Amino acid sequence: MMRFKVTTVGASAGFILTKEAMAHMKIKKGDTIYLTETPDGGFRLTPYDPDFERQMSLAEEIMHEDREILRQLAK
C-alpha cells in the first residue's frame, strides 16, 4: 500500500505521486489519470479511460457479431 498526503495546489487540493507510484502505473508527467468509483463504494485510480474501455468492448462485440459483413467489406 502506498500512502499520499493531500496538499494545496493553487486554489485546489491534490496529492503528489512518487516516482515509484508513477512507474508502477506506467504514467509520466502530463498524462491523464482517472478516479472511478468501485461497486463497494471505494475509488480506483487508473491511467485507463473507463469510457474508452466500454467503447472498445462494444466495438469488439459488434465485430464478432458482424464478422461476415466486415469480411465482405474488406474485399
- Please tell me the predicted confidence (pLDDT) of residue 40: 95
Output the pTM of the full model: 0.58
Q: Is residue 67 part of a domain?
A: yes
Residue 13 lies in a domain: yes
Predicted confidence at residue 55, as pLDDT, reads 78
Gyration radius of the chain over CA positions: 19
Candidates 52, 74, 32; CA nearest to 17 is 32
Q: How many domains does the chain have?
A: 1
pLDDT mean values, one per 10 residues, the chain (75 residues):
91 93 93 92 88 78 80 79
46 has which bridge partners? 34
pLDDT of residue 53: 73
Could you tell me if residue 1 is inside a domain? no
pLDDT at residue 51 in the model: 78
Q: Could you tell me how far CA 26 lies from the centroid of its own chain?
A: 12
Q: Does residue 61 form part of some domain? A: yes
Which domain, by its residues, includes 14?
6-74
